[in-house]
Amino acid sequence: MIVVMQKGATRDQVDHMAQRVEELGLKSHVIIGAERTVIAAIGEKRDYMRDALESGPGVERVVPILAPFKVASREVKPEPTQVVAGSLRVGAGTIGVIAGPCSVENEAQIIETAHRVKAAGATALRGGAFKPRTSPYSFQGLKEKGLEMLSRAREETGLAIVTEVMAPEDVPLVAQHTDVLQVGARNMQNYRLLEVVGQSKCAVLLKRGPAATIEELLLAAEYILDGGNKNVMLCERGIRTFEAHTRFTLPLATVPYLHNLTHLPIVVDPSHGTGHTYLVPDMAAAAVAAGTDGLIIEVHPDPEHAMSDGYQSLDYRQFEETMEKCRKIANVLGKTM
């Protein structure tokens, strides 16, 4: 249910109603909107609860939440959410750009890349230290050493860091070195990981599983939101279909579709979404045209010699050109990029 407070409701009234919700055995999420404050009351609903809440001080009305996902829904919060994590801003008219290599390979690589993508307009640095690889014999990432290199890149450039966390027990360590915890496509439905990430102070980039529906993606986000972490970005990174000409199939209709259902910002990954360097610039531009709130793009100083995903990485020049192209479209749409 959503407890919609009156326009002039006081802080005391809001606190009182949040407490009433908890007393009924439901979880309360206070959402302060531009127009008014609402309290999402989540849990098993009983008939008497609605009347009990509707008669409370400062309450305008109590309405059911129709969507299966609750805190993520536009019913609860009509205004778009902007996620802010260090230098990165994503959503509500601002397009954030996260760029960097698939994997952190060495300190010189990550620091040089950080400087170059920042100069081209990126607002965050990506780089995997814990890598989920299909084969156990592939490069698995530099783990803690890689995280330390990301920290040094942040110190040098001021760029926010986005890096993947694969296991619940690694969350505290990764959180020490990053601004955004990336939950990878393979872990989208690792519910224990989602719960732990939901308790973190770091923002989260939740990638869509290649076989997950949009509803499953939103319900996965709901785990994180329900844990109390409101800084969640959803990422469309391509799904698996019968089509084999690209690594995954990148459905850009996801962007406006999600914007209809949720206030959470959407980030598109044209690198994993296509799996081919030459397709990335156009699909990045198309994502901006479709209304994306952010992009995550793999950039490597020497893609041919990358330790992972070189075939879909841009070099510096290609990234600069992609940024120019995307910025033109963002300008037409009246967005900041």
Binding site for ligand PEP (CB under 6 A): 102, 128, 132, 184-186, 207, 237, 272
- Give which of 336, 296, 335 is closest to 319, Cα–Cα: 296
- Choose among Mn ion, ligand PEP, none what residue 184 binds, the Cβ cut-off being 5 to 8 Å by kind: ligand PEP
Report the residue number, 111 or 296, with the smaller CB distance to ligand PEP. 296
Residue 314 contacts Mn ion per CB under 5 A: no
How near is the Cβ of 131 to Mn ion at its closest, in Å? Answer: 8
**Structure token pair of residue 16:** 């009182």
Strand ranges, E, within the chain: 2-5, 27-32, 37-42, 59-63, 83-85, 88-90, 96-100, 124-126, 160-164, 180-183, 203-207, 232-236, 266-268, 294-298
- Does residue 224 contact residue 197 with C-beta atoms inside 8 Å? yes
CB of 30 to ligand PEP, least distance (A): 32
Smallest distance from the beta carbon of 122 to Mn ion, in angstroms? 16
For residue 180, the minimal CB distance to Mn ion (Å) is 16
Structure tokens at 125: 């640095």
Residue type, 259: H
Decide: is 309 part of the binding site for Mn ion (CB under 5 A).
Answer: yes
Residue placing its CB nearer to ligand PEP in the complex, 1 or 102: 102
Q: How far is the CB of 250 from ligand PEP (least distance, A)?
A: 11
269 contributes a contact to Mn ion by CB under 5 A: no
- Pick from 76, 102, 153, 295: which binds Mn ion (CB under 5 A)? 102
Q: What is the 3-state secondary structure (H, E, C) of 272-287?
A: HHHCCHHHHHHHHHHH
Query: Can residue 98 be called a binding residue for Mn ion (CB under 5 A)?
Result: no
- Record the tokens describing residue 76, joined without a space: 């609860």
Q: Please give the residue ranges that form the binding site for Mn ion (CB under 5 A).
A: 102, 309
